[in-house]
Amino acid sequence: MVIIGSTRVPIGNPITVVEIDPNDFIIGIMGLSNLSRDEIDWLDDPANENTVAEILNFLEANRNPDNSFSQELIDLVEQAISNLISFNVNNYPGKNDGFPFEWWLDSNFIMNSGNFDMPSDVPNNPNESPNAVEASLFAIFPKEAVLHIQNSISALDTAQDLAENNTFNEGSPMKSLNNGKSDAFRHAFWNALDTAEFGASITKLFTDAHEFGETGIDSRMDLFNNGQGRDIAVNNNYGFFTSDITISLVIQQAVFDGILKYLSPTENNGGIIDGITQIIFTNQ
């Protein structure tokens, strides 16, 4: 059965207990990955569709402000359940990239294959593997994870071009890409691309998880720019078919308008100067 708050909802036999904590929906979504293959097949069985509907109806009936569940939580749980039951060996995310079926259940593949490495914010360390929180989320949202990694590469490539062309008048490409204005662009562009393709809620899960455990000034800058990128995509009603060029130009303008933030002053390679470096708006 699923425990939702203090209420138990049966989801078949054998019985499993999956914690869905409305006060921490990341842990709740991750909990759905504890379902066994048999239980996922049970969810996918048309004979049980009424019970699955009851689970979703329960969430719908207990959304805020009347009870404890927000629309964001409900949407994420519904998407997670849909992902768990919708993929088969002939149609699954990553198939065209040569990924094995059910790679999302293999944390070793996610963390060590190199297929999910993302651009690093550390100079001379171009890529980094997902952390444990990211890997858990990728297991629940594999379709979105594949797009997320592709977008991370697109965002870096575009930011590198802007830095090398000195688009934001910072002189040093390395400085601009590491905690500078091109870096601010990269984070906002990455989040805007993700949001256009699969929404702000899952994008926030992914990019917050990417900063998991980081508390420095550079991480605070990244989180701010991530949020601005998501807001820009939402406010402009960007969707899956919005061109990358359209989104890029708007994010570039956000840099010039001071909607994003970067670190200044920094060392020549963009490194932080203790006690001096501050987060400032990109029009300064």
Closest CA to 201 of 112, 61, 18, 70: 70
Mean pLDDT of the chain: 81
Question: Would you place residue 30 in the very low, low, confident or very high pLDDT band (cuts 50, 70, 90)?
Answer: very low
Verify cis geometry, omega within 30 degrees of 0, for the bond prior to 130: no
Sign of CA dihedral 73, 74, 76, 80: positive
Rg of the chain taking only CA atoms, in angstroms: 21
Record the tokens describing residue 212, joined without a space.
């998991």
Q: Using alpha carbons only, what angle is made at residue 218 by residues 217 and 221, rounded to the nearest 5 degrees?
A: 90
Q: What percent of the chain has pLDDT over 70?
A: 71
The stretch 246-271 carries a mean pLDDT of 96
In this predicted model, which residue has the larger pLDDT, 112 or 31? 112
Question: Would you place residue 170 in the very low, low, confident or very high pLDDT band (cuts 50, 70, 90)?
Answer: very high
Whole-number Å distance between alpha carbons of 209 and 226 = 12
In this predicted model, which residue has the larger pLDDT, 88 or 96? 96
- CB distance 37 to 44 below 8 Å: no
Q: Using alpha carbons only, what angle is made at residue 186 by residues 182 and 192, rounded to the nearest 5 degrees?
A: 140
Whole-number Å distance between alpha carbons of 69 and 63 = 4
The stretch 83-99 carries a mean pLDDT of 87
Q: What's the confidence (pLDDT) of residue 119?
A: 84
User: Residue 88 gets which letter from DSSP?
Assistant: B
Q: What's the confidence (pLDDT) of residue 11?
A: 39
Q: What's the confidence (pLDDT) of residue 66?
A: 56
Q: What's the confidence (pLDDT) of residue 136?
A: 81
Q: Which range is most confident: 32-36, 156-160, 213-217, 269-273?
A: 156-160
Length of the chain as a residue count:
284
Q: What's the confidence (pLDDT) of residue 46?
A: 64
Token look-up 């990694």 returns 149
Closest CA to 97 of 132, 147, 37, 139: 147
Residue 18: pLDDT over 50: no
pLDDT in tens, 191-200: 999 999 999 9
The stretch 258-266 carries a mean pLDDT of 96
Whole-number Å distance between alpha carbons of 274 and 10 = 55
Whole-number Å distance between alpha carbons of 268 and 187 = 21
Whole-number Å distance between alpha carbons of 159 and 183 = 7
In this predicted model, which residue has the larger pLDDT, 85 or 141? 141
Question: Would you place residue 43 in the very low, low, confident or very high pLDDT band (cuts 50, 70, 90)?
Answer: low
Residue 256: pLDDT over 90: yes
Strands 261-264 and 118-119, bridge-based pairing? unpaired
Q: What's the confidence (pLDDT) of residue 4?
A: 38
Q: What's the confidence (pLDDT) of residue 269?
A: 87
pLDDT in tens, 123-134: 556 688 998 888
pTM for this model (two decimals):
0.79
Q: What's the confidence (pLDDT) of residue 5?
A: 39
Closest CA to 133 of 218, 193, 210: 210
- Residue 106: Cβ-neighbour burial (10 angstroms; 0-12, 13-18, 19+): middle
Residue 127: how many CB atoms within 10 A of its CB? 13
